[in-house]
């Protein structure tokens, strides 16, 4: 119901207006009255009416001043000015303020009611448009995250000008103006696992909470890299403030994970601070080198390049009896082979060799042992995910025929990098095959259920036994569009079929493709197809 407030200093006129209209019967709620603007103002802010009817000439505060103040606080309110003065200056000021109607006294109840109903139609239409926009923005929230990630990729891979970067950032409601930039690569693997939760990608709410807490901080922006990792962009005015931002990131992560009901692990790698936003790729490259060492440094910390140069074995002497085999922790290499990235293999191997000790690695015997252990670990990882190791042997060679691999430290390192990259290639092939079957099932479910208004990211994710967060990331990466974009595209294609081949009305088509609200369907159709359903049908 539309709420109306009346301000008029002449009590006879005020009572006449109030009593000449059957407010509830006409669809209005009369919420208050006052004799001047000064008394009316606090009452209007409290009641928040949809329509304000006010005289111009009143003591203490006139109608124009009241209108000006009310519009500042309630910009959507519709104001009807009642005036005994047919003066151009009054009317001009009323227009400037944004008054809906300027009526000359005396005004009959019939005329006033006619104007009220006209203004009400505008209010209803504006409310409807706002609700449609709210729905659309809620649907597009997932798209914004996808657009953010694509924007970061463009910064790192394309030669964008500063003007282009700032313009694209502004479109995403991001202010990237700063004196200093740095990046943190964050992985939260181990927040939960399939063994602990009973499903792949569990802990989705925890990932969302981490993102939310970080995004609430000024000068911090998060970008998804995978289902369990982010790039965090830190903005600061100087080095001291940048150090504080990095400390804040860790504090935020700990505040979330301290309340996590399952096992919590994270690792952050700090890049190199840069003064120009176009140099971000250099900061990320530095962070990548640190990030590759996460299996050597231990979890639950955020480290920089100064923290990865330690050589814990530099004083170790080599002999057959003291090869320090304990330093060959198979879980370190196994962890990297399971979750590391191909581009990180070289950095990982540099740190892995450093951790084993420079003197140890000079030993031919020790290098043979290291290589054999890595080879067997790689085969074990591949066999654990159902991959036949025959092709691995073809590409990496049979271990007994590798004499040339051990000629020098560099030969050994080069071979091991090749071994790691090959293993990751095979792992990714298996993963894509698995993801492919999951996405095929998800797409099939969407095709069969797109007409159900209740279909959502959550319901589709549950049908393929993935958490919503993980499913959203995999879907976007594999399909090149977000879930809601795909669902909307399927629905719009079906709607176009029905518009072409049936005599159904727009409201019926909306319901047939999963929208109970025909107005929202028409809004989305025009947004995505650049014409209304009626216009599309007339083109056929």
List the chain pLDDT tens, one digit each, 540 residues. Answer: 899 999 998 999 999 999 999 999 999 999 999 999 999 999 999 999 999 999 888 888 888 899 999 999 999 999 998 887 766 677 777 778 888 888 888 888 899 999 999 999 999 988 888 888 887 777 776 677 778 888 888 888 888 888 888 888 888 888 998 999 999 999 876 544 333 343 444 444 667 778 788 888 899 998 888 767 889 999 999 999 999 999 999 898 888 887 776 666 788 999 999 999 889 989 998 998 888 777 777 788 898 877 765 444 333 344 444 445 555 677 888 888 888 888 888 888 888 888 887 778 888 878 888 888 888 888 888 888 777 777 777 888 876 667 778 888 898 999 999 999 988 888 877 766 667 788 889 999 999 999 998 898 888 988 887 777 778 878 887 888 889 999 999 999 999 999 988 989 999 999 999 998 888 899 899 989 999 999 998 875
Closest Cα to residue 236, out of 227, 247, 250? 247
Tokens of 477: 């990466």
Does the pTM of the predicted model rise above 0.85?
A: no
Encode 479-501: b = buried (16+ Cβ within 10 Å), e = exposed.
Answer: eeebbbbbbbebbbebbbebbee
Q: Burial of 83 by CB count in 10 Å (0-12 exposed, 13-18 middle, 19+ buried)? A: buried
What is the pLDDT, as a whole number, of residue 308?
Answer: 65
Closest Cα to residue 137, out of 169, 173, 174? 173
DSSP state of 454: T
Maximum pairwise Cα distance, the chain = 111
Q: Burial of 125 by CB count in 10 Å (0-12 exposed, 13-18 middle, 19+ buried)? A: exposed
Tokens of 204: 């989705």
Q: Burial of 253 by CB count in 10 Å (0-12 exposed, 13-18 middle, 19+ buried)? A: buried
Chain Cα centroid distance, residue 108:
55
What is the pLDDT, as a whole number, of residue 203?
Answer: 46
128 contacts 519 by C-beta, under 8 angstroms: yes
390 contacts 429 by C-beta, under 8 angstroms: no
- In sequence order, which residues have a C-beta less than 8 Å from that of residue 96 and are 6 or more positions away? none
What is the pLDDT, as a whole number, of residue 34?
Answer: 92
**Mode of pairing for the β-strands spanning 51-55 and 78-83:** parallel
- In sequence order, which residues have a C-beta less than 8 Å from that of residue 265 and are 6 or more positions away? 188, 189, 190, 191, 299, 300
What is the pLDDT, as a whole number, of residue 193?
Answer: 39
What is the pLDDT, as a whole number, of residue 114?
Answer: 92
């Amino acid at each position: 119901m539309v709420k109306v407030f009346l301000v008029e200093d002449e009590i006879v006129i005020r009572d006449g207006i109030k009593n000449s209209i059957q407010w509830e019967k006409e669809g209005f709620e009369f919420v208050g009255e006052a004799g001047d603007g000064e008394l009316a103002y606090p009452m209007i802010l409290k009641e928040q009416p949809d329509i304000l009817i006010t005289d111009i000439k009143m003591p203490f505060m006139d109608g124009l001043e009241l209108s000006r103040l009310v519009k500042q606080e309630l910009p959507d309110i519709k104001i009807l000015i009642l005036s005994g003065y047919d003066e151009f200056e009054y009317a001009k000021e009323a227009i400037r303020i944004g008054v809906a109607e300027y009526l000359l006294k005396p005004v009959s109840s019939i005329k006033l009611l006619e104007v009220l109903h006209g203004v009400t139609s505008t209010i209803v239409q504006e409310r409807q448009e706002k609700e449609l926009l709210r729905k659309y923005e809620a649907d597009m929230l997932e798209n914004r995250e996808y657009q953010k990630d694509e924007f970061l990729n463009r910064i790192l891979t394309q030669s964008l000008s500063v003007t282009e970067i700032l313009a694209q950032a502004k479109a995403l409601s991001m202010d990237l103006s700063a004196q200093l930039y740095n990046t943190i690569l964050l992985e939260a693997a181990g927040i939960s696992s399939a063994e602990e939760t009973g499903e792949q990608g569990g802990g989705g709410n925890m990932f969302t909470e981490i993102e939310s807490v970080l995004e609430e901080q000024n000068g911090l922006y998060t970008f998804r890299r995978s289902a369990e990792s982010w790039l965090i962009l830190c903005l600061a005015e100087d080095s001291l403030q940048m150090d504080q931002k990095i400390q804040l990131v860790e504090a935020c992560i700990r505040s979330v994970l301290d309340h996590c009901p399952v096992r919590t692990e994270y690792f952050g790698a700090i890049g190199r601070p840069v003064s120009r936003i176009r140099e971000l790729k250099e900061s990320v490259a530095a962070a990548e080198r640190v990030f590759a060492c996460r299996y050597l440094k231990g979890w639950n910390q955020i480290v920089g390049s100064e923290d990865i140069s330690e050589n814990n074995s530099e004083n170790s002497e080599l002999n057959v009896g003291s090869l320090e085999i304990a330093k060959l922790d198979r879980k370190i290499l196994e962890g990297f082979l399971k979750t590391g990235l191909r581009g990180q293999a070289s950095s990982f191997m540099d740190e892995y060799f450093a951790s084993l000790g420079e003197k140890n690695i000079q030993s031919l015997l020790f290098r043979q042992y290291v290589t054999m252990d890595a080879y067997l670990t790689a085969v074990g990882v591949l066999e654990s995910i159902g991959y036949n190791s025959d092709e691995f042997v073809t590409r990496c060679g049979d271990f007994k025929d590798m004499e040339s691999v051990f000629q020098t430290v560099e030969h050994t390192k080069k071979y091991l990098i090749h071994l790691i990259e090959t293993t990751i290639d095979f792992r990714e092939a298996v993963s894509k095959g698995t993801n492919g079957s999951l996405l095929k099932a998800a797409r099939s479910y969407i095709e069969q259920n797109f007409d159900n208004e209740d279909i959502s990211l959550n319901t589709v994710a549950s049908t393929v036994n993935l958490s919503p967060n993980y499913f959203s990331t995999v879907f976007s990466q594999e399909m090149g569009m977000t879930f809601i974009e795909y669902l909307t595209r399927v629905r719009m294609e079906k709607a176009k079929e029905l518009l072409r081949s049936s005599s159904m009305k727009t409201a019926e088509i909306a319901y047939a493709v999963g929208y109970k609200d025909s107005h929202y369907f028409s809004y989305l159709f025009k947004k995505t197809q650049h014409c209304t359903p009626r216009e599309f049908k007339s083109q056929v």
